[in-house]
Structure 1
Amino acid sequence: MREQRTDQKAETPKETGSSRVYQKLRDDILRVHIAPGAPLDEISLSERFDLSRSPIREALVRLSGEGLVQILPNRSTIVTPMEFDKMPEFLDALDLLQRVVTRLAALHRTSADFTKIRAAQKNYEVEAQKALISGDCIGMIEKNFEFHMSIAYACRNSYFADSYRRLLQEGRRLLFFHFKYQSLDPNLSVEELAEGHTAMVAAIEEQNADAAEHQAHLHAVQFRGRFMEFLNQNLTAKLSLDYGK
């Protein structure tokens, strides 16, 4: 089935067409509408989006750069698998790098850096409020990424920042599941969604490196705990199957 274009402006196949494919596939991958490990065939995608293979390929390369797809040696492409057996390693690495970049940001951030961090946090809160109303967390996930990267840029170490970026990119789909589980709580608030960020921002503002690292660690531990709760959830535990026999 071909995708219907929603705007009436002329498209350039390599730019706008590629961007349209990129955005649609990206949303589908983040929402797990396309399963991890699923193949992405250029010919099928070309037919779906009514485009030549060139803009399709450009979109896939862009998604590969974000870690959302893998281009294999035989030139086929798949959605990046979610390797749950490597989850402990991922969470350990996220914790360590989050502590490092946040500590360094507290030590080295400039006034301009902090203005960007504060703005990124406000943008996250706006999207968090929208997510609570609509149930659609994709915008919140993007602003979460931008918030953490605003801290990473302020750490003044491009190697740490690039490594942290990779982990955040890999964790985007985990955040989707994480929020879906959190949203089962009818009392969930923006303040609760943002509390870890708020504490990190306060420590960075004060340039308290120890506090910044501590809050970054707590934030990672909280994510780990809530994700494990998601994996262990049992929505049928209280369901009675006793029919009076």
Structure 2
Amino acid sequence: MKANVVEIDREEGQSSSQDRKAALGQALRHRILSMELAPGSTLDEVALSEEFGMSRPPVRELMRQMAAEGYIELEANRAARVASMNYDSLRNYFLAAPLIYVATTKLAATHATQAEIDGLKRIQERFRAAVEGVDVDERVLQNDQFHLAIGKMAHNPYLLPSLCRLLIDHARLGKTFYQPRDERMDAELAQALQQHEDIIDAIQRRDAEAAGEVVRAHVYLARRNMASYVTPEGVNVSIDF
């Protein structure tokens, strides 16, 4: 009987540790995507261990996992840092974005199930509510979920990891696009919302070419506002795909 109790206590302890690790991972990803943790900022391993009631080994394990996903940069003998963003990373983002988004969206139009399409429509309703509201972080999150859902609908294990990496910087750059500062940006946000609807419609109709064209225009729409993240004031943005 005592052996069984010990075994149950051990299992509960492992479950609790896994839950805390999952909570830390979720919190870190949200803090990075929402820019609460700025690109390039260091992560205090000790503080995170204390905040989530964990020892340092599982925190380090999580850091390695998140580094593989692209959220964090790890270097020998240096503290972990949030993945940096600069002109080079922005340029690489804009070179890759149309390729990945077009490919996944066209494949989604070919392979998506009706249940997946219905799920995409529900995400779009949450995105619409966020656009009509004032929560910028929710706009970014729901846009991220929208494109991630499309990536999963493509059913291609080679493209999905690339899309997931792309979405990290898409979310962080999106803080500029989804926080309009003038009438032009307001109009472009409304246009982006309609483009989501057009993408859903093209996928629903199984029109891969139309879906690809709409998402390409969608990427171009946000380019100028997103590029302002790393462009000095007064300098014209000119980033070619």
TM-score range, shorter chain: 0.7 to 0.9
TM-score scaled by length of structure 1: 0.75
Q: Does structure 1 retain, via aligned residues, the 8 Å contact 2:20–2:53?
A: no
**Normalization by structure 2: what TM-score?**
0.76
- Distance (Å, rounded) in 1 between the aligned partners of 2:17 and 2:175: 30
User: For 1:1-245, what aligned pairs fall within 5 Å after superposition?
Assistant: 14-47=17-50, 51-74=54-77, 76-129=79-132, 132-133=133-134, 136-180=135-179, 182-185=180-183, 188=186, 191-229=190-228
Alpha-carbon distance between aligned partners in 2 of 1:34 and 1:113, rounded to the nearest angstrom = 32
How many residue pairs end up in the alignment?
Answer: 221
Deviation of 1:205 after TM superposition, in Å, equals 1.3
Contact 2:111 2:155 in 1 (8 A): yes
Evaluate the alpha carbon distance shift between residue 24 and residue 185 of structure 1 in structure 2; reply closer, same or farther with a 3 A threshold. farther
Distance 1:54 1:231, change over 3 A: closer
- Note the C-alpha offset of 1:126: 2.7
1:80-112: CA deviations, max 9, x gaps?
111322322211211111111111211222322
Q: Taking every aligned residue pair, what percent have the same amino acid on both sides?
A: 26
**What code does the residue aligned with 2:186 have?**
L
Question: Contact conserved, 2:97 with 2:219, CA < 8 A, in 1?
Answer: yes
Alignment-derived partner of residue 241 in structure 1: none
CA distance in 2, matches of 1:66, 1:46: 21
Structure 1: give runs of 5+ residues left out of the alignment: 1-11, 236-245
